[in-house]
Amino acid sequence: MQTHYRAVKQKEPHCRRFTDILPFASMLRSYKLYLMLLVSSIFFIVCQNQGSITSLVSNAAAASSGSVDDLPGVVAAPLQGNDGLELLYGDSEPALGAEKIRSRSLNSKDMLQKLNDRSSSTSSATSTTATTTTSTTTARTTSTTTTAKVVPTAPSTNGILAGSSSDVPYRFPVDTKQLPPLYIITPTYRRPEQIPELTRLGYTLKHVQNVLWIVVEDSENRTATVTRLLEEIGVPFVQLAAPMPAQYRKQKVKPRGVSNRNRALQWIRANATEGTLYFADDDNTYNLKLFEQLRHVRKVAMFPVGLISKYQVSSPVVKNGTITGFYDGWLGGRKYPLDMAGFAVAVKFLHKRPKAQMPFKPGYEEDGFLRSLEPLELKEVELLASNCTEILTWHTQARKNPPAPALDRKKYGGTNLVQLTSWLV
């Protein structure tokens, strides 16, 4: 009887398939264990940081639903006037605030609606978020602030715009007790040289700490071109509009910039309590040393200005540290024959002269404003620029340019010239 045997190698494929399953099952169990450990770790971390996550979510919700003024670390400066409400945004850290501040404008038609929305939302938002934000905002409000309280006023006849605003603080990057603030007032109007001259002045001010640039346009409303430039430069600013009254526009020699400066003085009275104000026109060139010397003015300071009139300089005449007269190419019977860039005034001293303002009298704007600050004796005037022996500001007015001709759209349509002409006047 013949016996048949099956070859052993025929059973090997079945055995190999069975043994191959075992490592796969072991790996699957390892992955499951790894996933369970990962989920457990995430759950443990979430439980440990539940309070921080809750605060983060609540802050994000408040940021998306509330107004900009409610954001932690955001500071604002109010404007007064029917030209709208201007907000200044800055980083909460003093060292970085100057580089982070920007501006956003509202049209005059939207201002009342914005104020109503803010007043209605503030009461409800305060009760729901006070408990969650108290601990986070307390540590962020240690630097000095200048709080503004603006009272509604009626429109006046001297070109000053009027309006109302709520109480919001503006925080200077450096404590004002250590470094007094500077309020730089710059009137401006639309012309071919406006943007380049504002650019030059703006990037000069970018090197100055604790400065607030008050730019006032001679127009009915703020213009988007100036706003875009101010935001791009990055200097903390307030943008206002104060048109010249109609009766003065008919004159052959116009009192240009008077309504602008008076509007800025109104803003400073409503918002500032310390520091120094200085009328810095956009057609001048400034040495940075001047701004540092302006910080500690007690009442009124005076100093020379170069490239003025036929004498090429306008300055007090100083002998033995005392003003004995004034040197200027045109005296005109003025008591204070100075250039607009040749003096500065302390904010506290301005508050003591509530009626001080600039007259609508061409050629006598500086003299009229300084007279409105009286009683003021020459011995009280502080002499800057090394006792008036240096010139730290120059009247470098750009050459007047005629308006640009209209672009031929048929010839240059679709080219870069279409965009470039938007910069021109």
Q: Express each pLDDT in 387-419 by its tens digit.
A: 999 999 999 987 788 888 898 888 888 888 888
Beta strands in 193-275 (DSSP E): 211-217, 237-241
Domains, the chain: 182-394 (3.90.550.10)
Would you state the pLDDT for residue 24? 57
Q: What integer is the mean pLDDT of 165-192?
A: 81
Tell me whether strands 305-306 and 382-383 are parallel, antiparallel or unpaired.
Answer: unpaired
**What is the share, in percent, of the chain residues with pLDDT greater than 90?**
50
pLDDT surpassing 70 at residue 38? yes
**What is the share, in percent, of the chain residues with pLDDT greater than 70?**
63
Would you state the pLDDT for residue 422? 78
Q: State the Cα–Cα distance between residues 160 and 258, nearest whole angstrom.
A: 10
> pLDDT: is 90 or 418 the higher one?
418
Would you state the pLDDT for residue 159? 30
Would you state the pLDDT for residue 47? 63
Would you state the pLDDT for residue 390? 95
Q: What is the DSSP string of 329-353?
A: S--TT-SS---GGGEEEEHHHHHT-
232: annotated active-site residue: no
Q: Which of 64-73, 185-194, 301-310 is the least confident region?
A: 64-73
Q: What integer is the mean pLDDT of 210-214?
A: 96
Q: Express each pLDDT in 319-337 by its tens digit.
A: 999 999 999 999 999 999 9
Angle of CA points 371, 153, 239, to nearest 5°: 75
Q: State the Cα–Cα distance between residues 237 and 254, nearest whole angstrom.
A: 27
Tell me the pLDDT of the chain averaged across its residues. Answer: 74
Would you state the pLDDT for residue 81? 37
Beta strands in 157-223 (DSSP E): 169-171, 182-188, 211-217
> pLDDT: is 253 or 85 the higher one?
253
Q: Which of 366, 374, 380, 390 is catalytic?
A: 366
Side chain identity, residue 391: I
Q: What order of strands is seen across the sheet that includes strand 382-383?
A: 237-241, 211-217, 182-188, 276-279, 343-346, 300-302, 382-383
Q: State the Cα–Cα distance between residues 151 and 390, nearest whole angstrom.
A: 42
Q: Express each pLDDT in 227-236 by its tens digit.
A: 999 999 999 9
Token representation of residue 72: 């932690």
Length reported for the chain? 425
- Please give the C-alpha separations between residue 77 and each of 86, 167, 190, 236, in angstroms, as whole numbers: 7, 9, 25, 10
> pLDDT: is 242 or 62 the higher one?
242
Instruction: Report whether 216 contacts 260 (CB < 8 A).
Output: yes
Q: Which of 5-19, 28-42, 179-193, 295-309 is the least confident region?
A: 5-19
State the DSSP code for 210: S
Q: Express each pLDDT in 127-175 by its tens digit.
A: 444 343 333 333 333 333 333 333 333 333 233 222 222 233 467 888 8
Does 167 appear as a known binding residue?
Answer: no
Side chain identity, residue 384: L
pLDDT class for 51, splitting at 50, 70, 90?
low
